[in-house]
A and B are shown apart, each in its own frame.
Chain A
Amino acid sequence: MLRVEGIYFAYNKNDVLKGISFEVKKGEFLGIIGPNGSGKTTLLKIIARVLNPYKGKILFEGEDIRKIPPIEYAKKVAYLPSQIIIPFSYTVEEFVSLGRLPYIGRYGEIKKTDREIIEKTLEQFEISHYRKKKIWELSDGERQRVFISQVIAQQSSVILLDEPTSHLDIGHSFKILDIIREINKSGTTVITVLHDLNLASEYCSRLLLLSQGNIFL
């Protein structure tokens, strides 16, 4: 489904990624692990099209992702960065609704189908009763659930998660990963960066080790 071919990337002069190639099959739960600074987040950002490699390409179902218009790509791939900073007082409901942007479009209104999907996602992550609360009023764990549910509401075929559990205690980590596993079972491909090897081996169907810009496994 997703093929990464020969990706090279450098922030300054030094290469962070040196010719990364791998393939991801539909429905996989892929974990990317490795020491700090090995380029895991960078790789994810490149797949999310936040960064551009200076060499190499990525194919989504055979198509070069650079040729896919942004809205279309958003329906295919959703990305959750490791940190989100929100300068304004959005409510949980408002924030999660933004995940529907690729379907609502620029000028459109939220339709019934969108509302149903948002509703379902809120319930899935057990944050329905928080819907009118402002995001900054929530705890770290609750906030993370809100961020992930926005990604899920996007209903993309692939979701990229960068350290989705790093702010959470072990109990919450399991809870979130359980829900993600369910979503994965219903067909969504998951690519996630995890620093906890135990969690990674527990949930992922396959692991990719990234070290000094090179891939193993």
Chain B
Amino acid sequence: MKRYKEKVRNMIVAVVLTIFFSSFSRGETPKIVSLSPYVTENIYLLGLEKNIIGLTIHDREEIKRGKEIIGTLLEPNIEKIMFLKPDIVIGSKEGNRQEHIEKLNKLGIKTYTLEELFSFEDICKNFITLGKILGRRDKAEEIVKMVKARLKSVESAAEKQKKKKKVFFILGFKPLFTTGNSTYINEAIMYAGGINIFSDVNKKWFPVGIEEVIKRNPDVIIFVTMGGEEKVLWEWLKDTKAVRNKKVFSIDSIMVCSPTPLSFVETAENLYKFMSYDED
């Protein structure tokens, strides 16, 4: 009797899942246009990279192959998007302008806008929502669960450190751009056992004066590789603990600028590696 009940239950679940999975009228292959690399990377993580028919010029070369370029982050080509007849166009408040999305709506195209990111939780929320609308909710939740578990181990490893390292994070050199306390990067630093020297500033990203950095004397400096490093910067920072102890590390820009739950925890793990040294 029990086995019979299980079987029926499984069948019902299967039917419900199938209906749920076919939330797209055409079923398994919704055609997606992505309006930013951030959106693209998250779709990629969901395993739906092949469903993307159009994306921006800023995306990675490997992903762009075989797909149409629909413009830039700031100026997507509405006509070209329409011509591609996508099932859904996905943008985000991280960089895309609302006017474009509204215009697409008016022209009858289905759109969705991911919310602005202030924290790791926001990254996860966006990711799961993306999973929901693209019929991969389960996979999304699975990934988030796995990521959170990994994050916990980073956290506990980081707690074992004797001292929290002071971190200066450089997003850009000219102007010298760093992060305040309202970003996921700030959070990643915290998970990794560090403290952002500008966590007292209630901003997301902002340009900072070099003197302030020297004054706050970071233990570790992390910068995003983007080409065009300014050598004179290291000359100016030579008296900081970070430069003196050679604790200066670079990190990939994709991880930072187009965050997914997975890349977040990978970043946190990398940051932990940089910061898990013992001071003498």
A–B in direct contact per CB < 8 Å: no
